[in-house]
Chain A
Amino acid sequence: MAITESGAAKPDGSRRDFLFLATGAALAVGTGAAAWPFVASMAPDAATVAAGAPLDVDLAPIQEGQIINVFWRGKLIFVRNRSEKEIKESQDVKLTELIDPQPDSARVKEGHAKWLVVYGNCTHLGCVPIGHQGPYQGWSCPCHGSLFDAAGRVRRGPAPSNLPIPPYVFEGDTKIRIGEEGGKAVA
């Protein structure tokens, strides 16, 4: 700063100013560029990214009403085999009653309404909600009391939104592939 000030006071100010500005800009660019590898190194590394390859889950052994836990990219995912009653109740809810309005059809894949696949961490602060609990028979979060229904939709806060749905596709009727969408692995 002091450099620029003293430069402005000189008779050949404009040439001097340009030199000082260019040098200052080069220093700023250099510092920014030097910081980049440090920031980039904190992103998921190549091994972590590669380990997130699509994961196949066999649905056949999952009983009606049962919820299983799987992990993809280290994140917990619930796969739930919903009963007819649960499906019906989920479909019949008025959207206006919901905190984060979404029809049941948007929560499952078409033709596979039985199967709910959602991330297993509460959208409030990430605790794992307990299945088949609470007035909506979906999930109840033990940490701060958020309630979810059988479509994984939030019905009572403090959670602000529904349990998100991971990318997945059906490979036949009894197998899903998590981490793949539109025939391509998710980046």
Chain B
Amino acid sequence: MRRLLGYADRISVKPGETINFKVSSEDEGTFHLDILRIRCGDDTPAGPGLKETPVEARVNGDYPARFQKTQVGSYVSIDHPRKLAPESFTLQAMVWPTLLEKEEQTIIGSWHAGSRQGYALGVINGRLTLTIGDGSRIETLVSSAGMHERHWYFVAATFDSTTGEAALIQEPLVRYAGDADSARTARSMGIRPGTGGKFIIAGHNGNDGVSGLFNGKIDTPAVTGRVLERGQMEHLLDRRIPPEIAADVVALWDFSREMNGVTAHDISPNRLHGAIVNMPTRAMKGWNHDGSEMVWTHRPEHYGAIHFHDDDLYDCAWETDATWQVPADCPSGSFAAFLTQDDQWFYIPFYVRPPTGRPGARLALLIATCSYYAYVNNHMEIGWGDMGEHSGNAFSVIDMTDIHLHMHPEHGLSMYDNHSDGSGVAYASRLRPFLRMGPRDDVWQYNADTHITDWLEERGIAFDVITDDDLDAEGVALLEPYACVMTTTHPEYTTTGMMQALLHYQQRGGRFIYMGGNGFYWRVALHPTLPGVMEMRRAEDGMRSWIASPGEYVMSFNGELGGLWRRNGMSPESICGTGFAAQGFNFSRPYTRTPASEDPRAAWIFEGIGRDERIGDFGSVFGGAAGSEIDSIDPLEGTPPHALVIAEATDFGVDFHWVNEEFLHTHSAVNGENCPHVRCDMVFYETPNGGAVFSTSSIAFAGSLAHNGYDNNVSRLLSNVVFRFLDPELIPPP
């Protein structure tokens, strides 16, 4: 298990700027920090080996080790305890519980577990409850009826401090025959609630942070300072405060307001706004969603629910242990803060990008940080079950990192995982330790991409490093200084701003090398103001680990429809000529040249490579250059009409599976043995103003570059492309 962990406040930093490292250790003593420049992180027996260079930096040195705690789980916190501690009260909300087996969950209240005082409307062992405590004694009223998961209920608790009379109301929105989940429960309490702690929605004050975290949706919660009639509660549900109760309404929160913000708006005159902590899922269908509108921006009042999860995480909020001011003359590249303490080690990867408008090279390597965010800290190997084995064509092999994540919910989840209640993870943050992203980890994403930096350095090709985050923020201006932009092996997740920037760059004569497979696939959004957090919705189609609920396809950050780019008017084929075709994870195939490879427009790509050579029948990613995830052309999806398929890989066999968005009916002819669409197309085409696009269309490609001491036909082919693309001479149109 890992006992030494850390993260940085930034992923991309310019020379002269500072980056802060936040470290937590379970061991006493000191930890050591070294800045390293990373060339290759693949230390597998088949790979090029670990290649990292120490960087002389003032920040290098020993630091006192300390444990830093992480609050995991989302909730709303409101800082007005006195106003929210009325003697008599009505608590109410619409709730859609999703994990009734959990022992204790609080919907709303001031409950303070340590001092045993306050009040809470909650769910204990699947039953609605009102708990009150006066500091010594605790009394709990339990609903006489159970609830169904993923059903809406109106729930309320009233308490009359004069009589001690308490009541619970539980009314299902959908009534089934027998009416067994509806209840009104009342009894007299012998105590009066104490002040309690902070007022919290979806949790309560625990002994060490917020606990009793609720799983499910909460919509339109409200607090009134007296016992309301049932009809009066109904007005509040409609987010209206009638005059006869206006003086007594303490707070009425409307979660449909400011959908990408972190403020829970109280629409009562008291304005007791709350802080939304740890990014629960927003823009969720509310209790009143009736199907009349499936896009939250068109009718936000139908999207007044927040879906809370006890494993949501945005920002670990650790203190800074070390700060590095990147020297003004620091060359761009991949770096890491390498932490060590006794037998423990941990990498905090980051990138030094060039100063704005001052490139250090003619080639830019675009690091797919958005795709890294989607994958980091994933629980796939343990959590995917049969889907993982069917897809991976092998019995599950997990490692100690998988086990660490499995046992440590405080590191959060990935977009490939489900929350503890089974719902999909729609947000990913970088303000937490990254496991599954760094040297010596799986050869996937980050580590696979170091095959490219390794090759570029080996070939002596100067390059700058830029990230998805930079591209999203700065647009095409970031790319314009470069003769050529090269992707990494799996740029699967991109924002609208990134896609537009790449298209414009190509139109202006920029040369573009797509070094991967399954790229430009999912549309995501980076938050417009909050640092380091990304959203995606696994909508209606695609190779998905979970599926968003219909009506919840539109992202909360910016109101854009989420899901596949091909369902959002901009297919990957329009960026790189090919789109995701198939995947398989136990062997790769070589490319063979097509007749089009002899076309003078592209023949130079194969200089030094024989007409009948198998290209890449070797490599560290399943033994070939075409494999893992592979793409093919599709003119209907936007492959330019003049694009040349210059090489192709076929005969992938039964273990490669055609992507599901491509077929209309299910049938059995969907694998590489019986489906002609399971193929990999290497593509070249010219773009206006002397530019061009070259696409490998395979994740495995970069894994072949180092074969035979970098002397091989994959390396030769890529060299031909890179050197031509860096040549200022215009690439003539066809």
Does B bind A? no
